[in-house]
Structure 1
């Protein structure tokens, strides 16, 4: 019986998957940040940039908000995407997000985007240390991740099924809920939560899921966090590991 319901709801959500990427949410966050702060020149970095969709959308939003100079940067390793990004005029680094230091000056980036990427990584302390280093004070980090506590994942667990946000035979190695992820990135007081948005709502069609995501964002398929860099400049995010022992080695 559970297989019947699973297959039924899976068919219902087919065609809505593009909503998981929250493109309009990211554009809105970029526009708001630049408008409020009246920025005339910005540097935007996308970690795991893919073909550059969010970067180009962000550039358009920045220019619409009155920004006169927009510099685009990316960390991306997949060669076809690297070529696409470079053809768009994006400055690309092909490095290991989880191990390497990011070759940008401290406090030099205005906006960092990481959309549907963090769930693929283990070394999140290193990643947030580097983001904290390169982001300007009051700069923003926009993170989009699958929501482990989404409505459909709760139903899947009730039916004894694996949540779609983190399959063992799949690419995702981490699951995130709003409360737990916020507890993570606010540790050490390098970051604070500005705003949270939801996008898509399985198994409903787009026009219904957009409405449900607005009234119950934490039930959405994906959650998007607008995170602000605080003024703290002593130490680094991964210093948390010095005082807290985890039974897993992490890069500090």
Structure 2
């Protein structure tokens, strides 16, 4: 990052894999948080080595996993509706495609789809569904009508280069859809260091609405719409309860999630946001 105006914000623990402690630094120019230290290269991959990393599996072993997949199916329909509202059916790229369920949903609706996913395990699951995923992006300039990153941008080691790559791959009249957690939400403030969506060190960056707008403006891409992800407050609150108390407090998590969505109406600070971005008009 080019900004150097960083101040200590919060100390947080990797609750799901390593149990190591990390610092969150507040970039005051961009209004975003940066995980410190940030693991590099192969060192980062070890933090994903867990059966509990739910986006890389189709497992339904527990009530929590079953609930996750039930909500995911509703979310898939909502994501498809958003994509269809932005463009006529064409070429769609999903970066960080996980096990390929969103691409399968879009493909069945008539989109020409391809995805990028670094996890070999997730790619093999997607292949069984007839979804082609590549380990890294290697595509021609301006070749996609829609590019999606569903809870992926926060994982990308080189943030500025990733945004440049999105600009390169997008057709002039195309749209980028980014979904990321919002550290300014009520549930983030309520749970503090136990907030599950910090998910350090897998989440390297923690965005606000201001940060997304400024980061993409640097590549002449403008923010045209922000949408709430209302289910996320319940899912994140449930995990946060587990990290805070050691128990899945379903009732408490439900009420915190509900309160977070209610409070979000005032300043539009939901647990997670979807950002729709397009090339700025000259």
TM over 0.5: yes
Identify the residue that residue 70 of structure 1 maps to in structure 2.
Answer: 111
In structure 1, list runs of 5 or more residues that go unmatched. Answer: 1-13, 64-68, 96-101, 233-252
Are the equivalent residues in 1 in contact too, given 2:106–2:113 (CA < 8 A)?
no
Aligned-partner Cα distance in 1 for 2:196–2:261 = 22
DSSP 3-state at the match of 1:57: helix
Aligned-partner Cα distance in 2 for 1:149–1:197 = 15
**Structure 2 vs 1, CA of residues 150 and 206 (structure 1 numbering), >3 Å: closer, same or farther?**
closer
DSSP 3-state at the match of 1:204: helix
Are the equivalent residues in 2 in contact too, given 1:147–1:218 (CA < 8 A)?
no
DSSP 3-state at the match of 2:145: strand
Identify the residue that residue 102 of structure 2 maps to in structure 1.
Answer: 54
Q: How does 1:2-151 map to 2 (within 5 A)?
A: 22-34=75-87, 39=88, 41-60=89-108, 63=109, 70-95=111-136, 102-151=137-186
Are 1:197 and 2:247 matched, yes or no? Answer: no
Aligned-partner Cα distance in 2 for 1:46–1:217 = 30
Identify the residue that residue 187 of structure 2 maps to in structure 1.
Answer: 152
Aligned-partner Cα distance in 2 for 1:181–1:207 = 24
Are the equivalent residues in 2 in contact too, given 1:137–1:231 (CA < 8 A)?
no
**Structure 2 vs 1, CA of residues 216 and 87 (structure 1 numbering), >3 Å: closer, same or farther?**
farther
Compare relative contact order (CA 8 Å, sep 6+) and give the higher one, 1 or 2: 1
Deviations 1:132-170 (A, max 9, x none): 00100121111111111111112234xxx35433244x4
Identify the residue that residue 99 of structure 1 maps to in structure 2.
Answer: none
Are 1:184 and 2:219 matched, yes or no? Answer: no
Aligned-partner Cα distance in 1 for 2:121–2:263 = 33
Aligned-partner Cα distance in 2 for 1:116–1:78 = 15
Q: 1:81: Cα distance to partner?
A: 2.1
Aligned-partner Cα distance in 2 for 1:32–1:206 = 31
Q: 1:78: Cα distance to partner?
A: 1.8
Q: 1:219: Cα distance to partner?
A: 2.8
260, 266, 269: which is aligned to 1:219?
Answer: 269
* TM-score in terms of structure 1 length: 0.66
**Structure 2 vs 1, CA of residues 183 and 17 (structure 1 numbering), >3 Å: closer, same or farther?**
farther
Deviations 1:12-43 (A, max 9, x none): xx787665895344222211013xxxx3x511
Task: Compute the RMSD of aligned alpha carbons.
Answer: 3.1
Aligned-partner Cα distance in 2 for 1:103–1:122 = 17
Identify the residue that residue 164 of structure 1 maps to in structure 2.
Answer: 196
* TM-score in terms of structure 2 length: 0.60
